[in-house]
Every structure is written in structure tokens, then in C-alpha cells.
Amino acid sequence: MNKYGKERKLWNEKIEAISEEKIRALQWKRLKKQLKYDYENSTYYRNKFEEAGITPRDIRSFEDFQRIPLMTKDEHRRVQQESIERFGHPYGLITCAPIEKIVRISSTSGTTGVPTLYTLTQHDVEVVNEMHARKYWRAGLRPGHVVLQALSLSMFTGGLPLSDGIQAMGLCCVPVGAEGGTKRIIDFLLLTRPQALIATPSFGDYLIEKAPSLIGKEASELGIQWFFCAAEPGGGIQTIRNRLRKGFRARIFDHTGGGHAFHGICCGDEEYRGMHFISPDHCILELIDPETKKTMEMVHGAIGEMAFTFIDWEGGPFLRYVLGDIIQIFTKPCECGFPGIRFNILGRGDDMLIVKGVNIYPSAIKEAINRFHPKTTGIFKILLDQPGPLVKPPLKLKLEYGLNVKQAEREGLKEEIRKYMKDNLRVNPEIELVPPDSIPIETGATGKVKLIEVAKDEK
């Protein structure tokens, strides 16, 4: 209850409901403090300032702040390694808090290269917990609700840290995880009867299709009222959302907490309007032009590479960190009434493919193929002769036709999909249709389905 005696709609009304102006003021106050802290406690950041010929005192506006060089994941890896070599541990250069205050290390969900580490103090863990609480509270979850966590239960942010957050806000968490396979998840759905399920949209699709044969029930009979999508695109694709909504008879939410301080959740309405950025008091978000690497204006509809800066963060705060995610920003007020800007994750810069000068993301191909459901199962692979982004045309796609598509209809279906992609994505693919259930679903460390297959070198 809030002071008006009404049940509160936001977990933290003091922060989540304040005006854009007040948020900017709070961000500025915290940023100044954070920059000084980073400079005084991290050799890496001090060097960065020195290289740019500035000190935190010279940063008098958000424009000045943009003079600090961007930090990339490769640089993060390099600094991590340098710390291990110099100090025998990874916290020597970026981490600002003394070693005895670090209580958790987690890692990003990336599947390539040496994992990059996030170091958190108890204060930082509490910040992350609060962000999870803000998301699930907005969606309508309250103590007494049971949440089944079916993402990978690893140290990636959507794994154990997410389960901790759910518990910390007073919900009941069933951390089954993806590791034990589908059967185990279904067993626990039946045993614990959760109202909410957190899973990849692919798993949701799979359950809708398989539930009748596996448990003799429709997915809609499982009692799931909230389906939270994470770890892969889908929660933001209208056709997939519609399918999950119907299949589970649930509200469908797309949400993310990938950057620890960067969190968002969509409104759960039928129409998808992007995710609300719910952590502006702990994260300064910037849009970077992928080519010039300059900060772009945050205007409605702008697309750029995301950079984030942690504020009010003790362990390993990130400063103008670019992970390679391409996002679109929406600044006009959302119809749902919740304040703040929204964003849509379009894909990772390194997943992007370039076919005859046209930029294309696997998520866009996924959306296009899913438009043809149930004539397609939605399962597909992008076949590359060599790693992207440059693809020698035509772009090759292998996709499954739907269960009831007859032989005679397949050529026509192929043509329909090809034409749709040519008109809407400006790419003219070569499509191979294969029977349902013939493409194995391979997942990465987080349970995220791999959409690109690179041909083995046949030398």
C-alpha cells in the first residue's frame, strides 16, 4: 500500500515515477560522484582519463562526459588478463572496491571468447535485486506467486542472480533451470504449479507443440498467467508473442537485465511497444553511431549501438561500455501510462549480416519466417559458408515447413517466403524446406538458440 492507501503499481514509486528532468538531475549527481570514485580507485580508469587529457573535475556537463573514450568488450578482456598477470586475480584494474567487499562474480552470456566478468559488492547485488523487483512488480507479480525459472542456471545474469532477485522481492522461486532438459521443466511445472514462467520463447513454442503428447494437456491448461521471455529475440516479435499468448493463455512479457545495471521490461499489452528502461538511476544509457562512434541524440526512433555507464556502483563499475547491442529508442510517452523511455533490442552488432550492402539481423529473419506459422514451424538456420558479417549472395536459409503442409504446396510456400523477404527485408534468400522436427535445436550457454550455422572448413 502507498500513502494514499492504494496498492502501489511500481516497486519504487519514489524513483520510477519521477519526471525525466528529475532523473537527469539525479543521474548527474551520481555520475559526478561515480567518476571521481572510478578515477581514484581504478588504475584502468585513471589511465583512461589521463589518455584523454582530462580529470573528473573537467567533466561539467553530459557533453564533457562524452570525451571519455568508450570501453569495448575486447578491451575489458585485455584488462582482465593484465590484472591476472600483474596481481594474480582479475580485480586489479577495473574493480574499484577493495577485494574483501566483492561478494559475487558473474559473467555475460556471450558464447565466444574468454568470459568477461562483473564484480559486485553487497550493495551492487542489492541494486540488481531491486531492478528485478521493479520489473516483476510492474508486470503484476506479488508475494504468494510462484515463478518457475527455466533459463540456464549459470552465473550469467539471467541465471542464479535472477533467481536470487526473484526471491529477494518476496516471490517464490522454483529454480529448475534449462540444464535438466524439457522433461524436468514439465515435471516441475506440474508439481509446483507456478503462475509465472521465465523461459526462452523457443521453449515456450516447444511446450505448446509438445505438451499434448508429453503430458496429455494443452499448454494453456498449465495455469501459467505470466510468460516472461528472455535470452533471445522473440518476446519482441509480434507473431511469436501472439502464439505464446494464445498457447498459454497468458500475458507475454519481454524483459532484459543483461547489463546488470541495464534493465527493461515491456508493458505486457497485446501490442509490443518496446521495453521500458527501468534503471535510469543506476545506468546512463547512450546511443552511439556504429560508424563514427559519436554519441547520437536520443530522439524517438533513433537506432544506434548501446553504451552504458554504471552509477552508484561499487564493485566493477563500467564507464561508457559498448557491448555491441544495436537498439532503437522510443521517447514518446507509452500508451500503458508508465513513464520513461523505451527501447527495442534489434540484435548484436556482431550477429549482423551484410548481404549486397543490406544490413540484416537474424531476429528480422526469424520474425519474417514466423509470419508464415503454422505453414512453417518457425525453426530455421541461416547457413553461412564462412563467418559473417559479409555474406556472398544468395543468403541461404534452411527452414522447417509445418506439419500439415503437403508436398504440392511446398514450392508455393517457398516462393511466398522468398517474396516476403525480398519486399520487406531487401534480401533475396535461397530457401531449402525441410520436414518438421528435422533441424536440431542447438542452444548456447544461456539456453539461447543458435540461428547461424557456419559450414565446417573442408580442407
Residues that bind Zn ion (CB under 5 A): 267, 334, 336
Which is nearer to Zn ion, 131 or 176 (by Cβ)? 131
Residues 6+ apart with CB under 8 A from 146: 171, 172, 174, 192, 193, 194, 195, 196
C-alpha cell at 237: 516479435
> What's the min distance (Å) between Cβ of 204 and Zn ion?
21
Which is nearer to Zn ion, 263 or 414 (by Cβ)? 263
Q: How far apart are CA 120 and CA 249, in angstroms?
A: 38
Q: Which residues pair with 449 in a beta bridge?
A: 443
- Fill in the DSSP letter of residue 230: -
Q: How far apart are CA 185 and CA 214, in angstroms?
A: 12
> What's the min distance (Å) between Cβ of 334 and Zn ion?
3
Q: Is residue 190 within a helix (H) or strand (E), and if so which, with residue range?
A: helix 182-192
Which is nearer to Zn ion, 107 or 328 (by Cβ)? 328
Which is nearer to Zn ion, 231 or 267 (by Cβ)? 267
Residue 338 has phi, psi (to 5 degrees) of -75, 140
> What's the min distance (Å) between Cβ of 45 and Zn ion?
35
> What's the min distance (Å) between Cβ of 449 and Zn ion?
27
Q: Which residues pair with 174 in a beta bridge?
A: 148
Which is nearer to Zn ion, 302 or 336 (by Cβ)? 336
> What's the min distance (Å) between Cβ of 200 and Zn ion?
23
Task: Output the CA angle 82-85-88, nearest 5 degrees.
Answer: 120
> What's the min distance (Å) between Cβ of 252 and Zn ion?
14
> What's the min distance (Å) between Cβ of 22 and Zn ion?
20
Contact 434, 380 (CB under 8 A): no
Which is nearer to Zn ion, 143 or 337 (by Cβ)? 337
Cell numbers 516479435 correspond to 237
CA 393 to chain centre: 30
Which is nearer to Zn ion, 176 or 267 (by Cβ)? 267
Whole-angstrom CA distances from 182 to 126, 176, 381, 454 are: 32, 10, 21, 27
